[in-house]
């Protein structure tokens, strides 16, 4: 039975409501708390409340890795020490005119939350085009839950009857996520099969080249995939996915127990409920201070927002932009409430560091993806990012947590991390 509650806690106080606790939302909440700490709002206390579907901050960029436990950061460890409230619930409806958000908790109960200022940071989701069988049979690494499903699926392969495609995996989509999971699979499948000769991993894309958008990293990725034994299938058009594998346009069938879809992301569908301009990826257009254009009391950050990040070019859905967008959105939403000046966000660098499994990694800079490092050297940078740089402080120390949300832009990741 579902229950519905009107939440009136906000009646006597101002509330900054942050939707989402990913790379943008978590940092927006901490950024707001940082500015509010020690200040007095003329109309009484200001509450920062975060709504997130899970009770943890997901280090989503690590979903291609085998160990998923390290990708979960309990919200309580970061938000409780600094007095930020949080609620595990799913956002179902946003009413900007009434300044209300409807949420549903795991037990089916619904609540309506009021707000004074809103930060929209619900991220993005994998796009599923209407390819027959794709939604039913393909796995993914888009979310923590998807990555867990993949892990459980792989672990169950040895108990299946022997068949041609038992240890074959087809990865469809050779962008960043497809490349990263494809590089991991030969090792993961060989460990399960006990015999690398039984393993086949295919990375396919409809583009004329695999990892076509990767600039100077493209040939490096081809070399790495060759060394890892991953078959590359450019120019491949998928006609359908079945429980037995992949059918290609032209009639070829690839027998595979594992099919992983990595076909691109689109902004969270709830962006459509904000009456503002959206771009072709469904993202909310925000100004340099992360305020949604035309909706004064709503800010947005991360994959759900499109800002001109260097003053000219649109932000790219990424954690490297999502985290600073979050910090600035949090600072600015609180500053707006306090009547203080807002800070514009400007980031003049862009990097891509693609994990290539046991082969290493590849590191490029700029949107043209100029090669900076590869192999073991780039892998050290990737480990630094995935293991340290993108984590909040985990020591429950309020000063450290708040300081990490200061509205500043980091320098690009180093390419000379010393070997241990």
In angstroms, rounded to a whole number, what is the distance separating the alpha carbons of residues 412 and 135? 37
- Please identify, using beta-carbon distances, which residue of 397 and 408 lies nearer to ligand FAD: 408
Cα-based distances in Å from 351 to 38, 239, 324, 409, 414? 36, 34, 14, 14, 11
Considering only residues 8 through 67, tell me which ones interact with ligand FAD, judged by CB under 6 A.
20-25, 51-54, 58, 60-61, 63-64
- Please identify, using beta-carbon distances, which residue of 166 and 182 lies nearer to ligand FAD: 182
- Please identify, using beta-carbon distances, which residue of 165 and 282 lies nearer to ligand FAD: 282
- Please identify, using beta-carbon distances, which residue of 219 and 264 lies nearer to ligand FAD: 264
Minimum CB distance to ligand FAD, residue 329 (Å): 10
Cα-based distances in Å from 100 to 84, 168, 253, 333, 338? 19, 48, 50, 17, 21
Interface residue with ligand FAD among 177, 179, 218, 381 (CB under 6 A) is 177
- Please identify, using beta-carbon distances, which residue of 175 and 245 lies nearer to ligand FAD: 175
Does 203 help bind ligand FAD (rule: CB under 6 A)?
Answer: no
- Please identify, using beta-carbon distances, which residue of 165 and 210 lies nearer to ligand FAD: 210
Does 307 help bind ligand FAD (rule: CB under 6 A)?
Answer: no
Closest CA to 350 of 219, 222, 225, 214: 214
Helical packing angle, 218-228 and 176-193, nearest 10°: 10
Give the count of beta carbons closer than 10 Å to the beta carbon of residue 129.
10
Burial classification of residue 412, based on how many CB atoms lie within 10 Å of its CB (0-12 exposed, 13-18 middle, 19 or more buried): middle
Minimum CB distance to ligand FAD, residue 60 (Å): 4
In angstroms, rounded to a whole number, what is the distance separating the alpha carbons of residues 141 and 153? 12
**Total residues at interface with ligand FAD (CB under 6 A):** 35
DSSP string, 399-415: HHHHHTT-S--PPPPPS
Residue partners of 48: CB distance under 8 A and separation at least 6: 15, 16, 18, 29, 32, 33, 36, 83, 84, 85
Q: What angle do CA 331, 413, 146 make, to 5 degrees?
A: 75
Minimum CB distance to ligand FAD, residue 24 (Å): 4
Does 302 help bind ligand FAD (rule: CB under 6 A)?
Answer: yes
Considering only residues 309 through 368, tell me which ones interact with ligand FAD, judged by CB under 6 A.
317-320, 322
Q: Which stretch binds ligand FAD (CB under 6 A): 150-158, 202-210, 273-281, 299-307?
A: 299-307
Q: Which stretch binds ligand FAD (CB under 6 A): 115-123, 128-136, 238-246, 282-290?
A: 115-123
Minimum CB distance to ligand FAD, residue 212 (Å): 18
Q: What is the CA radius of gyration of the chain?
A: 22
- Please identify, using beta-carbon distances, which residue of 247 and 362 lies nearer to ligand FAD: 362
Does 261 help bind ligand FAD (rule: CB under 6 A)?
Answer: no
The pair of structure tokens assigned to 178 is 């497809």
Residue nearest to ligand FAD (CB): 22
Minimum CB distance to ligand FAD, residue 268 (Å): 5
Residue partners of 262: CB distance under 8 A and separation at least 6: 126, 140, 141, 171, 172, 173, 174, 175, 177, 178, 181
Does 121 help bind ligand FAD (rule: CB under 6 A)?
Answer: yes
Q: Which residues sit at the interface with ligand FAD, rule CB under 6 A?
A: 20-25, 51-54, 58, 60-61, 63-64, 90-91, 121-123, 141-142, 176-177, 180, 268, 270, 302-304, 317-320, 322
């Amino acid at each position: 039975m579902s229950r519905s509650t009107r939440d009136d806690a906000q009646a006597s106080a101002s509330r900054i409501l942050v939707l989402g606790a990913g790379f943008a939302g978590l940092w927006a909440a901490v950024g707001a708390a940082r500015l509010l700490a020690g200040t007095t709002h003329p109309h009484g206390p200001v509450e920062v409340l975060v709504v997130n579907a899970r009770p943890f901050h997901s280090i989503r960029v690590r979903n291609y890795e085998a160990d998923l436990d390290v990708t979960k950061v309990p919200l309580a460890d970061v938000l409780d020490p600094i007095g930020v409230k949080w609620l595990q619930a799913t956002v179902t409806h946003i009413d900007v005119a009434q300044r209300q958000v409807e949420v549903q908790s795991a037990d089916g109960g619904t609540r309506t939350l009021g707000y004074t200022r809103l930060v929209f940071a619900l991220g993005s989701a994998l796009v599923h085009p209407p390819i027959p069988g794709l939604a039913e049979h393909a796995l993914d690494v888009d979310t923590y839950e998807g990555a867990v499903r993949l892990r459980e699926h792989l672990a169950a392969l040895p108990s299946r009857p022997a068949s041609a495609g038992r240890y074959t995996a087809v990865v469809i989509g050779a962008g960043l996520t497809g490349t990263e999971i494809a590089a991991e699979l030969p090792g993961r499948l060989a460990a399960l099969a006990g015999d690398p000769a039984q393993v086949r991993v295919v990375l396919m894309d409809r583009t004329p080249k695999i990892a076509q958008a990767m600039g100077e990293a493209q040939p490096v990725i081809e070399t790495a995939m060759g060394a890892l034994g991953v078959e590359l299938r450019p120019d491949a058009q998928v006609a359908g996915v079945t429980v037995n594998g992949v059918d290609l346009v032209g009639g070829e069938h690839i027998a595979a127990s594992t099919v992983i879809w990595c076909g691109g992301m689109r902004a969270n569908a709830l962006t459509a409920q904000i009456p503002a301009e959206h771009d072709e990826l469904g993202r909310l257009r925000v100004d340099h201070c992360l305020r949604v254009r035309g909706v004064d009391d709503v800010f947005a950050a991360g994959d759900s927002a499109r800002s001109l990040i260097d003053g000219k070019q649109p932000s790219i859905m990424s954690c490297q932009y999502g985290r600073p967008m979050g910090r600035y959105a949090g600072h600015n939403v609180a500053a707006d409430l306090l009547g203080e000046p807002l800070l514009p966000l400007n980031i003049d660098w862009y990097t891509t560091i693609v994990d290539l499994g046991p082969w290493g990694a590849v590191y490029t800079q700029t949107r043209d993806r100029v090669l900076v490092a590869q192999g073991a050297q780039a892998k050290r940078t990737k480990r630094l990012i995935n293991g340290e740089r993108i984590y909040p402080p985990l020591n429950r120390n309020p000063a450290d947590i708040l300081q990490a949300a200061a509205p500043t832009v980091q320098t690009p990741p180093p390419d000379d991390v010393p070997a241990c």
